[in-house]
Amino acid sequence: MRHFLDINKTDPADLRTMIDSAASMKSARAGRPKGAPDDDQPLKDRMVALIFEKPSTRTRVSFDVGVRQMGGQTMVLTGSEMQLGHGETIADTARVLSRYVDLIMLRTFEEDVLLEMAEHATVPVINGLTNRTHPCQIMADIQTYEEHRGPITGKKVTWCGDGNNVFASFAHAAGQFGFDLTFAGPPTLDPEAVFLDEARARGATVTIERDAARAVAGADLVVTDTWVSMHDSQTTRERRHNQLRPYQVDEALMAMARPDALFMHCLPAHRNEEVTDAVMDGPQSVVFDEAENRLHAQKAVLRWCLGV
Ligand code: CP
């Protein structure tokens, strides 16, 4: 049984297989209606539980559509609707769900909840985002970069903004796929050192840079993410905006990167905060390809987890 809990916990050869499989499945579906089934139906008769303790648009819809395209069925559950939110242990929930479904995808707050689910489930568990990491997003991002520019190995990726869970999975990917990663942000929002140390131990060059222009110089890919989460108070929002303003990705900053650099954002974006409209809608932006590739990349992850 294979869980997909994080990029650093997955063998690099398996990650490569999934990225290549995602690209093949995408091209095999080119031009078809979204609801049309894939030619092969590897998830026929499989039931997948999609559990969301936090809101989602892309993760929810892309997993649901992906399972259906591959012939499977889904049930979408929110934490508040389940006993999970009312005192039943994670371990018991994992044991019970494993009697009904073939795979569990979980979006939750605390990483420990995901790990406990995986420890006690007898079916594969996929990390659909925790407060620490977001591996499915970065699988889609790798697919997207390579679709446009070829292998990401040896390239320079610059992250502008908050050292959050999406950055953490980029750090995992830097170690596993062999690209250089620069973090540009204020010291108060640095990523956890463990993510940087592990990427370096695997041979990636990882740099912390306080000056956004220097960080972006020579970058093949520039990435940012929202500065605030929906749960942040007004005071927190104002403080983070003030700290992160120098790291806004605008046309002037993008011009510091390589001329063929791409721009990515996992979305949802707060336009004209972390990124300007001109960059979001500009020729270097691949944000909607990135969103689409959540579908294809996760289909590859599902197949890998189930061995089908
Ligand atoms: N990028 C991402 O995970 O989007 P959702 O929160 O809408 O799923």
pLDDT score recorded for residue 50? 98
Ligand 1 pocket test target in 51, 52, 57 with most atoms within 8 Å of CB: 57
Q: How far apart are CA 95 and CA 258, in angstroms?
A: 50
pLDDT score recorded for residue 85? 66
Average pLDDT, the chain: 96
Is 154 exposed, middle or buried (CB count within 10 Å of its CB: 0-12, 13-18, 19+)? exposed
Q: Which residue's CA is the nearest one to ligand 1's atom 6?
A: 56
Active site residue ranges = 107, 134, 137, 225, 266, 294
pLDDT score recorded for residue 82? 83
pLDDT score recorded for residue 84? 76
Q: Label the pairing between strands 206-209 and 180-184.
A: parallel
Q: Which residue's CA is the nearest one to ligand 1's atom 7?
A: 57
Q: What is the pLDDT of residues 157-200, one digit of tens each?
A: 999 999 999 999 999 999 999 999 999 999 999 999 999 999 99
Q: What is the pLDDT of residues 62-79, one digit of tens each?
A: 999 999 999 999 999 998
Lowest mean pLDDT among 33-37, 82-86, 202-206, 300-304: 82-86
Q: What is the pLDDT of residues 4-15, one digit of tens each?
A: 999 999 999 999
| CA distances to 18, 33, 36, 64, 148 from 30, in Å | 18, 9, 11, 19, 16
Q: Which residue's CA is the nearest one to ligand 1's atom 5?
A: 56
Give the up-direction half-sphere exposure of residue 108: CA atoms within 13 A in the CB hemisphere.
24
Q: Is the pLDDT of residue 139 over 70?
A: yes
Q: How far apart are CA 246 and CA 249, in angstroms?
A: 9
| CA distances to 1, 22, 82, 160, 214 from 224, in Å | 34, 24, 34, 5, 16
| CA distances to 180, 279, 298 from 262, in Å | 15, 10, 22
Q: How far apart are CA 87 and CA 227, in angstroms?
A: 32
Residues with CB under 6 A from ligand 1: 56-59, 129, 137, 266-267
Q: Which residue's CA is the nearest one to ligand 1's atom 1?
A: 266
Centroid of ligand 1 to alpha carbon of 53 (angstroms): 13
Centroid of ligand 1 to alpha carbon of 236 (angstroms): 22
pLDDT score recorded for residue 40? 94
| CA distances to 68, 69, 296 from 40, in Å | 12, 9, 14
pLDDT score recorded for residue 1? 85
Centroid of ligand 1 to alpha carbon of 186 (angstroms): 24
Q: Is the pLDDT of residue 60 over 80?
A: yes
Residue with more model confidence, 210 or 232: 210
Q: What is the pLDDT of residues 76-117, one digit of tens each?
A: 999 888 877 678 999 999 999 999 999 999 999 999 999 999
Centroid of ligand 1 to alpha carbon of 166 (angstroms): 11
Q: Is the pLDDT of residue 205 over 80?
A: yes
Q: How far apart are CA 113 and CA 91, in angstroms?
A: 9
Which whole number is the average pLDDT over 46-59? 97
Q: Is the pLDDT of residue 208 over 70?
A: yes
Phi, psi of 69 (to 5 degrees): -60, -30
